[in-house]
């Protein structure tokens, strides 16, 4: 067997594979011998079929199959040994006149090669890294919410400004019938609020869905409709009032602190406020890091210049799907995926140049932290280490979960790299201002 490469340009090459009879004859003869031992052909005892008949009946199919296997194995080995960084897969060049009765075969494959380029994280213009803080107002609001959430309900005769109202929303046409609890301050506008004020249990209110709540997401929960459906929803509703309560705030004492944070973790309102601030800013850190990751990704894709073997990639896209695409469809698909491919190459370059790797132990530790965070949401703030090990081990038997967690862990490692090496400027900002500045 002889394999040679013809370099067309920096991004394209042709690999030629010449296979001789010596390369495949032993493999084909062995398989045909096995066929002869087991063949059931009328007129012949098992194992006594003439080899000539076996070759006539099965020889061509076995030859084609074995040559193709040999071809793929040798091509993959060649690409590995030559350390060729190919994009997509090698594309066989069409051979309409291939003669399978010949003893030697010649094949050609087109290769699309990954470009050689450098990634510069030291941007001319610094990229903003937000340090999102929990301000006093946010902490005050959270303390109030907790006190009300854990407070006791006091029944009221009629709805007033501080009422918590429970009832059922209905609309027959949309088949809506959902029981929901909300506070009067979530209702939008004085006109709507006036319909509730003074109402009593058993009353049925006539309402409109449009502009009923301050937040459309609350309307989505109140009516149990989809995110897409809730926007611009304008239907008539009835609301049957079932309960009217006032929630008396809980006392900020040790009993409440233990219930929220575990025994003796927090011992005063001051410590509670500090813990709320700490927990909130941990959450904000995740959003800040994701924003940084998105911004640097966008910058690198726009500013890291290199060419791609576009013609080859379009041809590869055209021929490797379930259905063959037209030239125009393949070009359109390539244009859609080009930015993603560029970032994959940039990310791969950063990972290689900075020796970033994800070992199994790293992934297991990351899975344990993920499980720990999930358990904390259900009040299990101090899980046993053996329990964490066991659950994390089960999670890592699921390949989809392994892939998802690996991607998250790699994003975390890249974010750490960006914080160390990218040209960043830190901006301290409250969460509300961060939302306004980033999301408008």
**Digits of tens for pLDDT over the chain (440 positions)?**
899 999 999 999 999 999 999 998 999 989 888 888 877 777 777 777 788 888 888 888 999 999 999 999 999 999 999 999 999 999 999 887 888 888 899 999 999 999 999 999 988 889 999 999 999 999 999 999 899 889 888 999 999 988 999 999 999 998 999 999 999 989 999 999 999 999 999 999 999 999 899 888 889 999 999 888 888 889 999 999 999 999 889 999 999 999 888 888 899 999 999 999 999 999 899 999 999 999 999 999 999 999 999 999 999 999 887 788 899 999 999 999 999 999 999 999 999 999 999 888 999 998 888 888 888 777 676 778 888 888 888 888 999 999 999 999 999 999 999 999 999 999 999 999 999 998 87
CA distance 15 to 23: 18
CATH of segment(s) 2-113: 3.30.70.1050
pTM of the shown model: 0.72
Query: What residue ranges of the chain are covered by domains with CATH 3.30.70.1050?
Result: 2-113
Task: Find out whether 118 and 344 touch, Cβ atoms under 8 Å.
Answer: no
CA distance 354 to 414: 10
Q: Determine what percent of the chain falls in helix, strand and coil, rounding each to the nearest 5.
A: 50, 20, 30
pLDDT of residue 344: 94
CA distance 84 to 76: 10
CB atoms within 10 A of CB 191: 10
CA distance 390 to 337: 39
Task: Give Cβ neighbours of residue 27 (< 8 Å, ≥ 6 apart).
Answer: 66, 70
Assign domain 152-248 to a CATH class.
Answer: alpha beta
DSSP state of 212: -
Using DSSP's 3-state secondary structure scheme, residue 50 falls into: coil
Using DSSP's 3-state secondary structure scheme, residue 397 falls into: coil
pLDDT of residue 154: 92
CA distance 219 to 180: 10
Residue among 322, 311, 313 nearest 345 (CA) = 313
DSSP of 232-290: T---EEEEEEEEEEEEEPPP-SHHHHHHHH-TTT--SHHHHHHHHHHHHHHHHHHHHHH
Alpha helices in 42-168 (DSSP H): 51-81, 136-149
CA distance 309 to 86: 10
Using DSSP's 3-state secondary structure scheme, residue 151 falls into: coil
Rounded to the nearest 5 degrees, what angle is found at the Cα of 246, between the Cα atoms of 244 and 250? 145
CA distance 394 to 215: 39
Q: Which residue has the tokens 């194995």?
A: 73
Task: Give Cβ neighbours of residue 272 (< 8 Å, ≥ 6 apart).
Answer: 143, 252, 257, 260, 261, 266
Query: What residue ranges of the chain are covered by domains with CATH 3.10.50.30?
Result: 152-248
Residue among 305, 301, 315 nearest 12 (CA) = 315
């Amino acid at each position: 067997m002889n394999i040679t490469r013809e370099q067309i340009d920096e991004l394209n090459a042709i690999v030629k594979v010449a296979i001789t009879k010596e390369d495949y004859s032993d493999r084909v003869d062995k398989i045909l011998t096995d066929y002869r031992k087991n063949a059931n052909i009328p007129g012949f005892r098992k194992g006594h079929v003439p080899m000539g008949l076996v070759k006539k009946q099965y020889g061509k199919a076995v030859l084609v199959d074995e040559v193709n296997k040999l071809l793929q194995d040798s091509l993959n080995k060649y690409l590995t040994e030559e350390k060729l960084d190919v994009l997509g897969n090698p594309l066989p060049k069409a051979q309409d006149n291939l003669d399978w009765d010949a003893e030697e075969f010649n094949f050609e494959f087109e290769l699309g090669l990954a470009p050689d380029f450098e990634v510069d994280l030291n941007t001319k213009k610094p990229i903003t890294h937000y340090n999102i803080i929990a301000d006093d107002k946010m902490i005050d609001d959270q303390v109030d919410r907790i006190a009300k959430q854990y407070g006791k309900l006091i029944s009221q005769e009629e709805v007033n400004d501080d009422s918590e109202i429970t009832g059922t929303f209905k609309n027959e046409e949309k088949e809506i019938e959902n029981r929901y609890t909300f506070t009067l301050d979530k209702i939008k506008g004085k006109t709507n609020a006036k319909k509730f004020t003074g109402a009593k249990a058993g009353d049925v209110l006539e309402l409109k869905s449009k502009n009923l709540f301050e937040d459309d997401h609350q309307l989505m929960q109140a009516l149990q409709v989809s995110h897409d459906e809730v926007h611009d929803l304008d239907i008539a509703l009835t609301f049957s009032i079932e309960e009217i309560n006032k929630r008396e705030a809980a006392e900020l004492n040790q009993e409440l602190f233990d219930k929220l944070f575990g025994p003796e973790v927090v011992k005063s309102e001051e410590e509670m406020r500090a813990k709320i601030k700490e927990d909130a800013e941990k959450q904000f850190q995740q959003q800040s890091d994701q924003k940084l990751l998105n911004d640097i990704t966008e910058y690198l894709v726009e500013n890291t210049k290199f060419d791609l073997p576009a013609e080859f990639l379009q041809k590869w896209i055209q021929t490797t799907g379930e259905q063959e695409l037209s030239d125009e469809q393949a070009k359109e698909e390539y244009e859609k995926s080009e930015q993603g491919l560029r970032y994959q190459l940039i990310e791969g370059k950063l990972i290689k140049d900075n020796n970033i790797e994800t070992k199994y132990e790293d992934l297991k530790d990351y899975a344990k932290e993920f499980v720990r965070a999930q358990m904390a949401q259900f009040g299990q703030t101090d899980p046993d280490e053996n329990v964490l090990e066991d659950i994390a081990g089960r999670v890592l038997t699921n390949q989809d979960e392994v892939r998802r967690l690996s991607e998250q862990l790699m994003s975390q490692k890249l974010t750490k790299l960006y914080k160390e090496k990218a040209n960043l400027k830190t901006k301290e900002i409250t969460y509300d201002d961060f939302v306004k500045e980033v999301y408008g």
